[in-house]
Structure 1
Amino acid sequence: MRTVLARFRIKPGKEDLAREWMGFLADHLDEGNATLPDEGAHVETWFLNEEPDGLWSYVYTIVDDPDAQQERFQHSEHAIDAKHAEYMRQCVDYHTFTELTPAVALGDYSVFES
Protein backbone atom coordinates (compact mmCIF):
# COMPACT_ATOMS: atom_id res chain seq x y z
CA MET A 1 0.00 0.00 0.00
CA ARG A 2 1.35 3.43 -0.94
CA THR A 3 0.55 6.99 -0.05
CA VAL A 4 1.15 9.33 -2.99
CA LEU A 5 0.85 13.06 -3.49
CA ALA A 6 1.05 14.25 -7.09
CA ARG A 7 0.97 17.78 -8.41
CA PHE A 8 0.62 19.33 -11.83
CA ARG A 9 -0.09 22.71 -13.32
CA ILE A 10 -3.38 23.38 -15.04
CA LYS A 11 -2.77 24.48 -18.64
CA PRO A 12 -3.02 28.26 -19.03
CA GLY A 13 -6.50 29.17 -20.23
CA LYS A 14 -8.01 25.95 -18.82
CA GLU A 15 -8.53 27.22 -15.26
CA ASP A 16 -12.33 27.52 -15.59
CA LEU A 17 -12.50 24.06 -17.16
CA ALA A 18 -10.44 22.67 -14.25
CA ARG A 19 -12.90 24.19 -11.78
CA GLU A 20 -15.74 22.64 -13.80
CA TRP A 21 -13.88 19.30 -13.60
CA MET A 22 -13.64 19.47 -9.80
CA GLY A 23 -17.32 20.44 -9.65
CA PHE A 24 -18.17 17.45 -11.82
CA LEU A 25 -16.29 15.12 -9.46
CA ALA A 26 -17.95 16.73 -6.42
CA ASP A 27 -21.38 16.32 -8.02
CA HIS A 28 -20.74 12.62 -8.73
CA LEU A 29 -19.18 11.43 -5.46
CA ASP A 30 -21.15 8.19 -5.28
CA GLU A 31 -20.19 7.22 -8.82
CA GLY A 32 -16.57 8.17 -8.21
CA ASN A 33 -16.36 6.30 -4.93
CA ALA A 34 -17.79 3.22 -6.62
CA THR A 35 -14.80 3.10 -9.01
CA LEU A 36 -12.13 3.10 -6.30
CA PRO A 37 -12.29 -0.60 -5.33
CA ASP A 38 -11.86 -1.59 -8.99
CA GLU A 39 -8.66 0.46 -9.06
CA GLY A 40 -7.24 -0.74 -5.76
CA ALA A 41 -7.61 2.78 -4.39
CA HIS A 42 -8.75 3.58 -0.87
CA VAL A 43 -8.51 7.38 -0.73
CA GLU A 44 -8.38 9.93 -3.55
CA THR A 45 -8.50 13.61 -2.62
CA TRP A 46 -8.22 16.42 -5.17
CA PHE A 47 -7.13 20.02 -4.56
CA LEU A 48 -6.89 23.14 -6.71
CA ASN A 49 -4.48 25.83 -5.57
CA GLU A 50 -3.83 29.24 -7.11
CA GLU A 51 -0.07 29.80 -7.06
CA PRO A 52 2.08 32.69 -8.39
CA ASP A 53 2.65 30.89 -11.71
CA GLY A 54 -0.92 29.70 -12.21
CA LEU A 55 -3.47 27.17 -11.04
CA TRP A 56 -2.11 23.85 -9.79
CA SER A 57 -3.87 20.63 -8.88
CA TYR A 58 -2.77 18.21 -6.21
CA VAL A 59 -4.10 14.69 -5.76
CA TYR A 60 -3.50 12.69 -2.59
CA THR A 61 -4.07 8.95 -2.81
CA ILE A 62 -3.72 5.80 -0.79
CA VAL A 63 -3.57 2.87 -3.21
CA ASP A 64 -2.50 -0.75 -3.20
CA ASP A 65 -0.21 -0.24 -6.21
CA PRO A 66 0.02 3.14 -8.01
CA ASP A 67 1.01 1.64 -11.37
CA ALA A 68 -1.82 -0.92 -11.28
CA GLN A 69 -4.26 1.80 -10.20
CA GLN A 70 -3.34 3.94 -13.21
CA GLU A 71 -3.58 0.98 -15.58
CA ARG A 72 -7.04 0.06 -14.26
CA PHE A 73 -8.19 3.69 -14.49
CA GLN A 74 -7.03 3.96 -18.11
CA HIS A 75 -8.96 0.80 -19.05
CA SER A 76 -12.00 1.45 -16.87
CA GLU A 77 -15.47 0.84 -18.26
CA HIS A 78 -17.03 3.31 -15.80
CA ALA A 79 -18.56 6.31 -17.60
CA ILE A 80 -17.33 8.68 -14.89
CA ASP A 81 -13.73 7.56 -15.46
CA ALA A 82 -14.02 8.36 -19.18
CA LYS A 83 -15.30 11.86 -18.37
CA HIS A 84 -12.60 12.32 -15.70
CA ALA A 85 -9.88 11.24 -18.17
CA GLU A 86 -11.22 13.68 -20.78
CA TYR A 87 -10.98 16.56 -18.30
CA MET A 88 -7.43 15.46 -17.49
CA ARG A 89 -6.41 15.43 -21.16
CA GLN A 90 -7.75 18.95 -21.60
CA CYS A 91 -6.48 20.49 -18.36
CA VAL A 92 -3.28 18.81 -17.18
CA ASP A 93 0.13 20.13 -18.19
CA TYR A 94 1.88 16.77 -18.01
CA HIS A 95 5.32 18.42 -18.35
CA THR A 96 4.84 19.70 -14.80
CA PHE A 97 3.57 16.41 -13.33
CA THR A 98 5.50 15.52 -10.18
CA GLU A 99 4.87 12.62 -7.85
CA LEU A 100 6.00 13.37 -4.34
CA THR A 101 7.03 10.54 -2.07
CA PRO A 102 6.29 10.98 1.62
CA ALA A 103 9.19 11.17 4.03
CA VAL A 104 6.88 9.66 6.64
CA ALA A 105 3.34 8.29 6.37
CA LEU A 106 1.57 7.73 9.67
CA GLY A 107 -1.79 6.06 9.93
CA ASP A 108 -3.75 2.97 10.78
CA TYR A 109 -3.63 1.27 7.40
CA SER A 110 -5.39 -1.77 8.87
CA VAL A 111 -8.69 0.02 8.21
CA PHE A 112 -8.10 -0.69 4.52
CA GLU A 113 -7.60 -4.44 4.94
CA SER A 114 -10.36 -6.68 3.66
Structure 2
Amino acid sequence: MKDDVVCARVRLQPGSLPRVRAWAAHLHAHRAEALRTLDDEGVSVESVFLESDASGDSLVYYLRAADVEAAFEIARRSQAAIEQFHRQFKQDTWLEVNRLELLVDLSS
Protein backbone atom coordinates (compact mmCIF):
# COMPACT_ATOMS: atom_id res chain seq x y z
CA MET A 1 0.00 0.00 0.00
CA LYS A 2 1.32 3.45 -0.97
CA ASP A 3 1.67 6.15 1.68
CA ASP A 4 -0.40 9.33 1.62
CA VAL A 5 1.49 12.53 0.88
CA VAL A 6 0.39 16.06 1.66
CA CYS A 7 2.05 19.41 1.23
CA ALA A 8 0.59 22.70 2.43
CA ARG A 9 1.54 26.35 2.57
CA VAL A 10 0.73 27.98 5.92
CA ARG A 11 0.55 31.75 5.88
CA LEU A 12 1.86 33.16 9.17
CA GLN A 13 0.75 36.08 11.30
CA PRO A 14 2.86 39.19 10.61
CA GLY A 15 5.72 39.49 13.08
CA SER A 16 5.59 35.84 14.16
CA LEU A 17 9.00 34.83 12.77
CA PRO A 18 10.76 34.91 16.19
CA ARG A 19 8.06 32.57 17.54
CA VAL A 20 8.46 30.31 14.50
CA ARG A 21 12.19 30.03 15.08
CA ALA A 22 11.61 29.32 18.80
CA TRP A 23 9.10 26.59 17.85
CA ALA A 24 11.64 24.98 15.49
CA ALA A 25 14.33 25.14 18.18
CA HIS A 26 11.92 23.52 20.66
CA LEU A 27 11.24 20.65 18.25
CA HIS A 28 14.97 20.12 17.73
CA ALA A 29 15.55 20.17 21.50
CA HIS A 30 12.75 17.62 22.01
CA ARG A 31 13.50 15.54 18.91
CA ALA A 32 13.02 12.14 20.58
CA GLU A 33 9.55 13.07 21.84
CA ALA A 34 8.61 14.54 18.45
CA LEU A 35 9.73 11.37 16.67
CA ARG A 36 7.70 9.21 19.10
CA THR A 37 4.54 11.19 18.31
CA LEU A 38 5.18 10.87 14.57
CA ASP A 39 5.60 7.13 15.00
CA ASP A 40 2.31 6.97 16.95
CA GLU A 41 0.63 8.83 14.07
CA GLY A 42 2.06 6.57 11.36
CA VAL A 43 4.06 9.46 9.90
CA SER A 44 7.30 8.50 8.16
CA VAL A 45 8.36 12.02 7.05
CA GLU A 46 7.47 15.50 8.24
CA SER A 47 9.48 18.41 6.86
CA VAL A 48 8.80 22.11 7.33
CA PHE A 49 10.35 24.85 5.23
CA LEU A 50 10.26 28.62 5.77
CA GLU A 51 9.34 30.79 2.81
CA SER A 52 9.77 34.56 3.13
CA ASP A 53 8.91 37.04 0.40
CA ALA A 54 7.37 40.48 -0.06
CA SER A 55 3.93 39.16 0.92
CA GLY A 56 5.16 37.82 4.28
CA ASP A 57 6.28 34.58 5.86
CA SER A 58 4.89 31.12 5.25
CA LEU A 59 5.67 27.58 6.28
CA VAL A 60 5.62 24.83 3.68
CA TYR A 61 4.75 21.48 5.27
CA TYR A 62 5.48 18.14 3.64
CA LEU A 63 4.05 15.03 5.28
CA ARG A 64 4.17 11.36 4.33
CA ALA A 65 2.10 8.89 6.34
CA ALA A 66 0.33 5.57 6.03
CA ASP A 67 -2.96 7.52 6.33
CA VAL A 68 -2.68 11.31 6.55
CA GLU A 69 -6.20 11.92 7.83
CA ALA A 70 -5.79 9.27 10.53
CA ALA A 71 -2.44 10.85 11.49
CA PHE A 72 -4.13 14.26 11.83
CA GLU A 73 -6.87 12.77 14.02
CA ILE A 74 -4.37 11.02 16.30
CA ALA A 75 -2.44 14.29 16.64
CA ARG A 76 -5.65 16.19 17.48
CA ARG A 77 -6.45 13.74 20.30
CA SER A 78 -2.90 13.43 21.62
CA GLN A 79 -2.16 14.63 25.13
CA ALA A 80 1.61 14.55 24.57
CA ALA A 81 3.29 17.76 25.72
CA ILE A 82 4.94 18.28 22.33
CA GLU A 83 1.56 18.04 20.58
CA GLN A 84 0.01 20.52 23.01
CA PHE A 85 2.95 22.88 22.38
CA HIS A 86 2.44 22.50 18.61
CA ARG A 87 -1.32 23.14 18.82
CA GLN A 88 -0.70 26.36 20.78
CA PHE A 89 1.94 27.41 18.25
CA LYS A 90 -0.53 26.90 15.40
CA GLN A 91 -3.24 28.85 17.19
CA ASP A 92 -0.86 31.75 17.87
CA THR A 93 0.87 32.02 14.50
CA TRP A 94 -1.09 30.43 11.65
CA LEU A 95 -3.39 32.59 9.51
CA GLU A 96 -4.32 30.33 6.62
CA VAL A 97 -3.55 26.83 5.36
CA ASN A 98 -3.66 25.94 1.67
CA ARG A 99 -2.99 22.40 0.52
CA LEU A 100 -0.83 22.21 -2.56
CA GLU A 101 -1.66 19.98 -5.52
CA LEU A 102 0.53 16.90 -5.77
CA LEU A 103 1.75 16.51 -9.32
CA VAL A 104 4.60 14.02 -8.98
CA ASP A 105 5.59 11.74 -6.11
CA LEU A 106 8.52 9.50 -6.88
CA SER A 107 9.51 7.15 -4.10
CA SER A 108 10.73 3.58 -3.99
TM-score, with length taken from structure 2: 0.91
| Cα deviation code 1:17-55 (max 9, x no counterpart) | 111111111221111011112112110011112111111
| Cα deviation code 1:63-100 (max 9, x no counterpart) | 12221111110101211111111111101112xx1111
2:103 paired with 1:103 = yes
Aligned pair partner of 2:45 in 43, 64, 70: 43
Question: How many residues are aligned here?
Answer: 106
Where does residue 61 of structure 1 map in the other structure?
63
* Structure 2 gaps, min length 5: none
TM-score, with length taken from structure 1: 0.86
Whole-Å Cα distance in 1 between the matches of residues 75 and 101 of structure 2?
21
Where does residue 112 of structure 1 map in the other structure?
none
Where does residue 25 of structure 2 map in the other structure?
23
1:6 aligned counterpart, secondary structure? strand
The structure 1 segments of at least 4 consecutive aligned residues displaced by more than 2 Å after TM superposition are none
